[in-house]
Amino acid sequence: MKIYVDNAATTKMSKTAIEAMLPYMAEEYGNPSSLHSVGQRANEALSDARERVARVLNCEPREITFTSGGSEADNQAILSAAWLGARKGKKHIVSTAFEHHAVLHTLNKLAKEGFEITLLDVHENGLVTAQQVREAIRPDTCLVTIMFANNEIGTIQPIAEIGAVCREKGVLFHTDAVQAAGHLHIDVKAQNIDMLSVSGHKFHGPKGVGLLYARKGIFLVNLIEGGAQERGKRAGTENIPAIMGMAAALEEAAANLDANQAKLVKLRDRLIAGLEKIPHSALNGDAVKRLPNNVSFCFEGIEGEAMLLLLDDKGVYASSGSACTSGSLDPSHVLLAIGRVHDVAHGSLRLSLSEETTEEEVDYIIKAVAEVVEYLRSISPLWGDLVKGKREFILK
Ligand SMILES: *Cc1c(COP(=O)(O)O)cnc(C)c1O
């Protein structure tokens, strides 16, 4: 079997997305800034894509800026709010300890420029509360940035409530919705969101394209200077094929959202139930308030990387949940944020399903993981110590 369960890292493009792109790579190759009819057709396609994604998110087309992906959208949102804040003498930002690095590293940069950053503690269940946000906001707070759903452990934050607190306090609210878009209902108006980041390749669209929604009236700073594309907010000839692919993928995901969620939740819970039978294991994050396709576990006495390689041999393509820190031996900042100790955090496994995943595949994965965990424990000196009682188990 060949089972790709790393859909939080990236997804396979859908047929619909590919077909939406093809004409713009072949006959309709115009530059939307050209005045002739070839260019104007490309420009119309761009407007059409903007209207369609705006409809899905419940905003106006002019509130959408197309970017090169989720990372760029996060950078632009945060730097814009910081710039606006600094002009009013407000240099405090509230976020969480388990954001994506596109957010955390941007905040680190701002900290070096004199901004004060409050990173909220994440509860053991992988959630922060609107009350924590309320308590953290100060008179000099210019931005709250909290992810919609976490990319490693899949937990879904109370976004509408956090947004309501920010509205009440007059503070801008940005959310990295890269893992949520295409998987959860998003309505920027109903959920009180001022700025929101999306990436095409996390919902069966192409890589290298994303978007930033910014409520009208919010001034965006340019990360890339040049031509007047994207209302002067993002220079560079627009990637029309990718934008068309992303718009098609987002619409398709929105149209099938309820059916996909129902299907995935069943598979997810079957997988969780199977893995929970492995001794000394624990699900990471809330069992219910989590993405329909996310399963994240820690297994005691295991090295995550070894587990991934052995699973790869069995045709299961998964992640330790720390793809961005691979190559370093530091455990995931997300798992540490929810209170997992280093030894346990090292034995993490993230399985992110897709709409194509089957029950049969889920059962195969359960068996494969159980075998791999048992084998690795059998050759681990650390496990030997645990079993002999020289060290205490952390996970029951
Ligand atoms: C993947 C991801 C990003 C980065 O998106 P890119 O389009 O790859 O730049 C940002 N935030 C989260 C939560 C993600 O999962």
pLDDT of 129-188, one tens digit each?
999 999 999 999 999 999 999 999 999 999 999 999 999 999 999 999 999 999 999 999
pLDDT beyond 50 at 324: no
CA of 91 to the centre of ligand 1 (A): 25
Give the span between the Cα atoms of 78 and 142, in whole angstroms.
Answer: 10
CA of 71 to the centre of ligand 1 (A): 6
Write out the E strands in the chain: 3-4, 64-67, 92-96, 116-120, 141-145, 172-176, 195-199, 210-214, 281-283, 294-299, 316-317, 348-352
Q: What is the pLDDT of residues 172-206, one digit of tens each?
A: 999 999 999 999 999 999 999 999 999 999 999 99
Question: Could you tell me the pTM of the whole model?
Answer: 0.96
CB of 147 within 6 A of ligand 1: the answer is yes
CA of 389 to the centre of ligand 1 (A): 42
Atom of ligand 1 nearest to the CA of 150: 13
pLDDT beyond 80 at 322: no
Amino acid identity of residue 60, one-letter, is E
Q: What is the pLDDT of residues 86-144, one digit of tens each?
A: 999 999 999 999 999 999 999 999 999 999 999 999 999 999 999 999 999 999 999 99
Instruction: Give pLDDT, residue 323.
Output: 47
Q: 145: which strand partners?
A: 174
Q: What is the pLDDT of residues 334-376, one digit of tens each?
A: 999 999 998 889 899 999 999 999 999 999 999 999 999 999 9
Q: Which are the contacts of 270, defined by CB distance < 8 A and separation ≥ 6? A: 359, 362, 363
Give the span between the Cα atoms of 108 and 127, in whole angstroms.
Answer: 22
Q: Whose CA is nearest to atom 6 of ligand 1?
A: 70
Q: Whose CA is nearest to atom 5 of ligand 1?
A: 70
Pairing of strands 210-214, 64-67: antiparallel
Q: 333: which strand partners?
A: none
Of the ranges 158-162, 165-169, 234-238, 319-323, which one carries the lowest mean pLDDT score?
A: 319-323
Atom of ligand 1 nearest to the CA of 200: 7
Q: Is-contact 223 26, C-beta < 8 A?
A: no
Q: What is the pLDDT of residues 204-231, one digit of tens each?
A: 999 999 999 999 999 999 999 999 999 9
CA of 179 to the centre of ligand 1 (A): 7
Split at pLDDT 50, 70, 90, the class of 396 is confident
Q: Is-contact 317 226, C-beta < 8 A?
A: no
Instruction: Give pLDDT, residue 242.
Output: 98
Q: What is the pLDDT of residues 15-52, one digit of tens each?
A: 999 999 999 999 999 999 999 999 999 999 999 999 99
CA of 70 to the centre of ligand 1 (A): 5
Out of 186, 199, 243, mutate this one to test ligand 1's pocket (max ligand atoms within 8 Å of CB): namely 199
pLDDT beyond 90 at 321: no
Out of 178, 184, 332, mutate this one to test ligand 1's pocket (max ligand atoms within 8 Å of CB): namely 178
Q: Which tokens sit at 105?
A: 């590293």
Instruction: Give pLDDT, residue 37.
Output: 97
CB of 80 within 6 A of ligand 1: the answer is no
Q: How many CB atoms lie within 10 A of CB 313?
A: 10
Split at pLDDT 50, 70, 90, the class of 382 is confident
Split at pLDDT 50, 70, 90, the class of 328 is low
Instruction: Give pLDDT, residue 222.
Output: 96
Q: How many CB atoms lie within 10 A of CB 178?
A: 28
CB of 321 within 6 A of ligand 1: the answer is no
Instruction: Give pLDDT, residue 330.
Output: 77
Q: Which tokens sit at 48?
A: 């059409």
Known catalytic residue: 166? no
Instruction: Give pLDDT, residue 343.
Output: 85
